[in-house]
Amino acid sequence: EDKVVQSPLSLVVHEGDTVTLNCSYEVTNFRSLLWYKQEKKAPTFLFMLTSSGIEKKSGRLSSILDKKELFSILNITATQTGDSAVYLCAVPNFGNEKLTFGTGTRLTIIP
Partner 1 sequence: DAGITQSPRHKVTETGTPVTLRCHQTENHRYMYWYRQDPGHGLRLIHYSYGVKDTDKGEVSDGYSVSRSKTEDFLLTLESATSSQTSVYFCAISLSRTDTQYFGPGTRLTVL
Instruction: Report the interface residues with partner 1, using CB under 8 A.
Output: 31, 34, 36, 41-45, 48, 88, 90, 95-99, 101-104
**Do residues 35 and 74 lie in contact, with contact meaning Cβ atoms separated by under 8 Å?**
yes
Q: Which is nearer to partner 1, 52 or 96 (CB)?
A: 96
Q: How far is the CB of 18 from partner 1 (least distance, A)?
A: 25
How far is residue 25's CA from residue 93's CA, in Å, rounded to a whole number? 12
The torsion of the CA quartet 101, 37, 105, 3, rounded to 10 degrees, works out to 10
Q: How far is the CB of 105 from partner 1 (least distance, A)?
A: 11
Q: Which is nearer to partner 1, 13 or 48 (CB)?
A: 48
How far is residue 60's CA from residue 57's CA, in Å, rounded to a whole number? 7
Q: Which is nearer to partner 1, 34 or 109 (CB)?
A: 34
Q: How far is the CB of 11 from partner 1 (least distance, A)?
A: 17
**Do residues 87 and 105 lie in contact, with contact meaning Cβ atoms separated by under 8 Å?**
yes
Q: Which is nearer to partner 1, 31 or 77 (CB)?
A: 31
Q: How far is the CB of 79 from partner 1 (least distance, A)?
A: 23
How far is residue 98's CA from residue 90's CA, in Å, rounded to a whole number? 10
